[in-house]
Amino acid sequence: MVKGPDLTGGGLQEDLKLNKSLVGKTFPGESHRIEPQRVLEFRRFLDCIGPSNTWQKPILAEGEQVHPMFLNHLSEGRGLPEIFVGFHHRHRTPGGETLEALAPIHIGDTINTTSRLVDMYTKKGRSGTMLFVVWETEFTNQGGELVGRIRLPLIYTQ
C-alpha cells in the first residue's frame, strides 16, 4: 500500500493500492528491418564510447552479422505502454538495463518486439517512496527465433 498525492488536488490519499492487474501481461511491440544505415549509426555511437573494434568495417552487406548490442539501439524510445500505476510521480529513471543476446542478428533481418510487464513494487528511499516497474522485451527474427531479451526496471520517484 502506498500513500501518494491525491490526483484531484485534495490532501493525501489514504490506502492507495498499486493496480497489479497488468503484471504478467504481454503487449505487442514494433517491427524493425535491420538496415545498413541504422547499423552505421550504431557503429558511430560505439566508436564514440570506445576504441574502434572489429565491428567498425565501413562496408555493410546483406546478411552481415550485427553486434548484439544493436538490440539495445532498436529498443531506444521503444513504445512501452503507458500504464496508470496509481502512483503520482515527478521523475522516471531507468534502473539498469540487462541485455541477453540469444542468437545472431544480421543486416536484412526483421526483428519483432513484444514487451511484458514483469513486476511492480515499492521501496522506501532517502527522498521518499520509489515505485519500480520492471519490463521485459523479447526480440524475435523473421523466422520466429528468439534472438534477445532486455529487462528494464523503471524507477518512479515522488
CATH at residue 50: 3.10.129.10
Does residue 116 contact residue 136 with C-beta atoms inside 8 Å?
Answer: yes
Q: How far apart are CA 112 and CA 90, in angstroms?
A: 32
The cell numbers describing 8, all together, are: 484531484
Q: How far apart are CA 3 and CA 146, in angstroms?
A: 40
pTM of the full structure: 0.74
Q: For residue 73, give its domain range.
A: 2-157
**What pLDDT, on a 0 to 100 scale, did the predictor assign at position 95?**
81
**What pLDDT, on a 0 to 100 scale, did the predictor assign at position 62?**
81
Count of domains forming the chain: 1
User: pLDDT tens per residue, the chain (158 residues)?
Assistant: 333 333 333 332 333 466 678 889 988 888 999 988 888 777 776 665 555 555 555 666 788 888 888 888 777 655 666 665 566 666 777 788 899 999 999 999 999 999 899 998 888 878 778 888 899 999 999 999 999 999 989 888 87
**What pLDDT, on a 0 to 100 scale, did the predictor assign at position 90?**
65
